[in-house]
Amino acid sequence: MIEDRAMGISWDNWHKRCKTRDVVYSASNNELAHTKTLVKNCTVLIDRTPYWQWSKSHYVLSLGRRKGATLTPEEEKISNKIQSKKIQKKYDERKKNTKINSLLGKQLQEDKLLTCTASKTGQCGRANGYVLEGKELKFYLGKIKARKGK
């Protein structure tokens, strides 16, 4: 039962245990993806909410926002909040060093994240993994699209 399965996912030195939504690709056997079996190196779909909330609090801006989107009054209030110079400098430094891949940004907009399991599940059904980024994300998106086209 997929609802009982949880994964520890790491992204940008931040770790969070969350439930899996769907197994979308398994390189070893396509049947494992159909039966939603978590195995090592399978690609899993998870909810983006915990990571989006973390990025919002860490950078004081929401990653994955559509270009040209206007801020809500609440977000405008938070971004214009008067802060000490030290805290403002810290957030400005974080924003300056932040570069997010366009494919990852699209996933954050669509309320989903593709992750890869890095370990096998134990008897309790938990595994560890990481958020796919860059060339690896592009590769797996191509594989998933090719499988769905068949």
The answer, yes or no, to whether residue 79 has pLDDT greater than 70, is: no
Cβ atoms of 75 and 59 closer than 8 Å = no
For the entire predicted model, the pTM comes to 0.72
* CA dihedral sign of residues 115, 108, 81, 91: positive
> What is the rounded average pLDDT for all residues in the chain?
78
Cβ distance 74 to 62 under 8 Å?
no
Walk me through the domains of the chain, giving residue ranges and CATH numbers.
2-64+73-149 (3.10.290.70)
* Residue 2: pLDDT over 60: no
More confident position, 139 or 98:
139
Q: Report the C-alpha gap between 34 and 23 in whole angstroms.
A: 8
Band of pLDDT at residue 82, cut at 50, 70 and 90: low
The pLDDT tens digits for 99-132 are 777 787 788 778 788 999 888 777 666 788 888 8
Supply the pLDDT for residue 21.
85
Residue 140 has pLDDT above 60, yes or no: yes
Q: What's the rounded Cα separation, in Å, for the pair 43 and 141?
A: 10
Residue 5: the pLDDT is: 64
Q: Decide if pLDDT at 38 tops 80.
A: yes
